[in-house]
Structure 1
Amino acid sequence: MKAGEPGASTSHDAYLPQNGNGGYRVSHYDLELDYRVGPGRLSGRARISAVSTQALSRLSLDFRGLRTARVTVDGRAARYVQRGAKLHVTPARPVQAGVAFVVEVRYLGSPTPVPSRWGEIGWDYLDDGVVVASQPVGAPSWFPCNDHPSDKATYRLSVTTASAYLVEATGQLASLRSAASTSTWEYVLAAPTPTYLVGVQIGRYGAFAVNSPVPQRFAAPTRITSAARHDFGRQGRMIEEFSRLFGPYPFPGYTVVIADAELDAPVEAQSLSVFGTNHVDGRRGSEHLVAHELAHQWFGNSLTVAEWKHIWLNEGFATYAEWLWSAAADGVPVDTHARRAWRTLAAQPQDLVLADPTTENLFDDRVYLRGALTLHALRSTLGDPAFFTLLKTWTTTHHHSTVTTDAFIALAETHASGPLTALFTRWLYRTALPALPA
């Protein structure tokens, strides 16, 4: 099938067209999961509320590695077939254009992460638990979905597992019920959220909370609780500083899970970030990463890229937030970080276009550093009052919605005393590394 046909199984995204589907938009996911840690077996029910954007005689969902047992559309049994990473559904009655409808999928099996050019992504196994990191293509490893960042929905997640394990998921804990040897954790995520920012973390963790204007919750192996309290001890101040610079924190609370494993890099989810035990040393050695993941709650989570090519709007902003925190907390000027980053980039190949880095370079370090340098150059041009007013207007205007590079450029122009075309052309659309402003 081609994009635009009923039930099209591709998206408009030039980088990851096989992820995402045409013909509908999801408004809500209701997920009920029953997971047995020992054998690694998952049984699930996904109730997906959507609205058709065209008449649908068939539709598709991103889903792989688990076996579908039953599908209904608006309560009527539907025909379905799984091929590769897609679940194709044919409703008993075609769905008319502009109509709300509900797809329910029951499924089971042992989840496996999705192989990709960035490694295995999605539902993965700890020695004794689960870690889920779905950016950018891992969500279909554990629930059927429309896996594209532009399709943001609300969620309810109910997770049942053995009572010995703590479950942290994206959203706010709504209820916890125990019966016999199992417990059911229910989380509600009211903010519109893309599939890649939804996660479930399961482990034998201890939990503690920190009183602050934004409630903070932590889950970690008990053996490193003391070190974790120290390493994340300035996170409350960090939230206050970023709220001052970027605007109000966009969610009701913030959770940090320290998975019982070493992770290559921390992972942000909506109102939740996941670190590895290697990111805890009792000396705040990874505090720049703490700042980076927290900043994503504004840039990447509340404001989500409309297409993956705009990834610098996530990673460049979060990297610049690291520098801002270093300046505020430790007195290291942002300009020092900028010049260090510039020297790093100058020694690397000059073949990346920041506004369109290609799929291969989606998470290249140059996207992070050049994105942050672009903001530093813009700040030098606008001056601090206009620059930080721009950031607050940016987060307010696009609160819980999607963003593009063009939209940021257009907004920046309204905060400038002169044209910014030359600046953005040099930094975003040319490969050569521009000189830093004096």
Structure 2
Amino acid sequence: MGFDQRRAASLVALLSILACAPSNGAMAPTAARPVSGDTGAPGIGDPDFPLDGNGGYDVSHYGLELGYTPSSKHLDGVATIKATTTQALSRFDLDLSGLDVSEVTVNGEKAIFSRNGTELGVLPATPLGNKADFTIKVAYSGVPKPIKDSTNLGTFGFVPTPDGAFVACEPDGAKTWYPVNDHPADKAAYDFAITVPDGVTALANGEQVGEPTTAEGKTTFRWRERHPMVSYLATATIGKFELRKGRTPGGIPNLAAVDPKHRASLDDLYNISGEVTDYWSKVFGPYPFSSTGGIVDDFSAGYALENQTKPLYGGFEPDQSIIAHELAHQWFGDSVSIKRWRDLWLNEGFATYAEWLWAEHKGTNTADRLFQTFYNRAASEPMWKYPPGRAQPKDLFNDSVYTRGGLTLHALRKAIGDETFFTLLKTWTSDHKYGNVTTDEFIALAEKLSGKDLKPLFDAWLFQPTKPDA
């Protein structure tokens, strides 16, 4: 059933009565029923990713009960989703890729559902009014299929490994393992209960709740991330890991986990993560979450991802610069998140510049010297033809978004001075803690704190397809 057909079906439903529904709750293509209210849009409104996320509601909490068997790659899940409508809803969508849905309920009543590509359409038994709190429960199972997209990160989502799963979901891979409003604009808290075979460890965001429980050859790990989180930052990374637990010198709980193949990196990951977290807490403002750390898994992803509270490193042992980058994201991208993917430089440009600040802090380089090195690239270099202030959906993670984004921040630092620049960073992270932002909001704050007209500077560095004057 296409999107236009679904809307048409909803209109027909105003005039018809559903005689009966399939016993498993699946929506028959010709089913019609009396409804009131409106249909939620199949996308959240991001023009670059028109089918990511969904309209009509805002999620506040995901409760994910998962059972995973590495030998068969089979996942069983029950997702309990608490949300609030932003309009009257007779029908709405969730994002879910693959996997078989056996039942959907809304507020405890069995709902009719349909599948169309990565859209899970839901017709509640009782239509929902505007600003109404409601609970969706989805039972599902199957073998997760990661997304393979050479234009962006490559392979992402729920990626099976010989001993478990590598779970890194940017930009829109969360839907490969749970039903979700899969877009950064809708952040929510999470609880995880992950059951795996004995001897296997399940790691997720936030902090572990109680001790693992074991029964009938299986162990259940419970994790809770009580702070709002973007869907692509959720993880349920599973495998055999060596762990080190403790606190940073500044007192923040710290957990490092490494695959046995990378056991030599455990202490470095733990110590550097702690040192970096404490230092960024001075530069960017108080650490926004309740724990820090990182995971090194034995999957050659070719990238790292800043999963909230637990950055994930795919098949390599990260150096200080990479750890500094991923942990800077806890402020820029995780706590302060983008509203639309076009503003991705607010994540990656800031984390790249954090690498330069870390080098400056350690005395191995200066941000100004690094700025000059990158700025000296020839005007014909592709970086100058890609304006980072408007990330392109088929090339989100372009070098320009990272490097030219970092160059923009240093150009700004030189224009407004160190005192105002570092006040700006702390004010930005404080004013928008746990929220969503745009580039226009950052420019406005920079102008307010500096008292300068900075639009020409940002236009040249972020929006023009040419090399700016330094």
Q: Distance in 1 between matches of 2:269 and 2:208?
A: 25
Q: How does 1:129-144 map to 2 (within 5 A)?
A: 129-144=164-179
Partner of 2:446: 412
Q: Deviations over 1:224-253 (max 9, x none)?
A: 323332355333222222111100111111
Q: Distance in 1 between matches of 2:381 and 2:78?
A: 48
Shift of 1:277: 3.4
Give yes or no for the alignment of 1:64 onto 2:97.
yes
Give yes or no for the alignment of 1:248 onto 2:286.
yes
Residue 327 of structure 2 aligns to a residue in which SS?
Answer: helix
Distance change (3 Å), C-alpha of 1:227 and 1:199: closer
Pick from 53, 69, 74 the counterpart of residue 41 of structure 1: 74
8 Å contact kept, 2:360–2:367? yes
Q: Distance in 1 between matches of 2:276 and 2:205?
A: 21
Residue 388 of structure 2 aligns to a residue in which SS?
Answer: coil
Give yes or no for the alignment of 1:154 onto 2:189.
yes
Matched to 1:126, the amino acid is T
Q: Distance in 2 between matches of 1:347 and 1:222?
A: 45
Matched to 1:279, the amino acid is E
Give yes or no for the alignment of 1:101 onto 2:101.
no
Residue 410 of structure 2 aligns to a residue in which SS?
Answer: helix
Distance change (3 Å), C-alpha of 1:230 and 1:148: closer
Shift of 1:347: 4.7
User: Highest CA radius of gyration, 1 or 2?
Assistant: 2
8 Å contact kept, 2:274–2:293? no
Shift of 1:266: 0.7
Distance change (3 Å), C-alpha of 1:347 and 1:339: farther
Shift of 1:255: 2.7
8 Å contact kept, 1:250–1:297? yes
Q: Deviations over 1:103-128 (max 9, x none)?
A: 11000111111243423320001222
8 Å contact kept, 1:111–1:141? yes
Which structure 2 residue ranges, 5 or more long, are not aligned?
Answer: 8-36
Shift of 1:302: 0.2
8 Å contact kept, 1:345–1:370? no
Pick from 265, 280, 302 the counterpart of residue 335 of structure 2: 302
Give yes or no for the alignment of 1:174 onto 2:212.
no
Pick from 364, 376, 388 the counterpart of residue 422 of structure 2: 388
Shift of 1:84: 0.8
Residue 90 of structure 2 aligns to a residue in which SS?
Answer: coil
Q: Distance in 2 between matches of 1:310 and 1:46?
A: 30
Give yes or no for the alignment of 1:289 onto 2:325.
no
Shift of 1:5: 5.5
Partner of 2:276: 238
Q: Distance in 1 between matches of 2:328 and 2:386?
A: 24
Shift of 1:336: 1.3
Q: How does 1:72-83 map to 2 (within 5 A)?
A: 72-83=105-116
8 Å contact kept, 2:62–2:80? yes
Residue 13 of structure 1 aligns to a residue in which SS?
Answer: coil
Q: More deviation in 222-231 or 417-426?
A: 222-231
Partner of 1:283: none
Q: Distance in 1 between matches of 2:463 and 2:242?
A: 47
Q: More deviation in 184-193 or 227-236?
A: 227-236
Matched to 2:282, the amino acid is R
Matched to 1:369, the amino acid is T
8 Å contact kept, 1:70–1:106? yes
8 Å contact kept, 1:302–1:399? yes
Q: Distance in 1 between matches of 2:53 and 2:275?
A: 38
Pick from 402, 410, 414 the counterpart of residue 376 of structure 1: 410
8 Å contact kept, 1:113–1:123? yes
Matched to 2:376, the amino acid is R
Q: Distance in 2 between matches of 1:114 and 1:330?
A: 40
Which structure 1 residue ranges, 5 or more long, are not aligned?
Answer: 281-285
Residue 51 of structure 2 aligns to a residue in which SS?
Answer: coil
Shift of 1:73: 0.7
Q: Distance in 2 between matches of 1:314 and 1:77?
A: 40
Partner of 2:229: 193
Distance change (3 Å), C-alpha of 1:417 and 1:73: closer
8 Å contact kept, 1:123–1:141? yes
8 Å contact kept, 1:68–1:108? yes
Q: Distance in 1 between matches of 2:229 and 2:378?
A: 33
Distance change (3 Å), C-alpha of 1:357 and 1:277: closer
Shift of 1:370: 0.7
Residue 288 of structure 2 aligns to a residue in which SS?
Answer: coil
Residue 233 of structure 1 aligns to a residue in which SS?
Answer: helix
Q: TM-score, normalised by structure 2?
A: 0.89
Matched to 1:173, the amino acid is Q
Shift of 1:26: 0.7
Q: Distance in 1 between matches of 2:417 and 2:446?
A: 12
Q: Distance in 1 between matches of 2:262 and 2:156?
A: 26
Pick from 114, 126, 132 the counterpart of residue 147 of structure 2: 114
Residue 450 of structure 2 aligns to a residue in which SS?
Answer: coil
Q: TM-score, normalised by structure 1?
A: 0.95
Q: Distance in 2 between matches of 1:229 and 1:347?
A: 43
8 Å contact kept, 1:122–1:141? yes
8 Å contact kept, 1:345–1:366? no
Q: Distance in 2 between matches of 1:277 and 1:210?
A: 24
Overall identity of the aligned pairs, in %:
38
Q: Distance in 2 between matches of 1:114 and 1:345?
A: 35
Give yes or no for the alignment of 1:219 onto 2:257.
yes
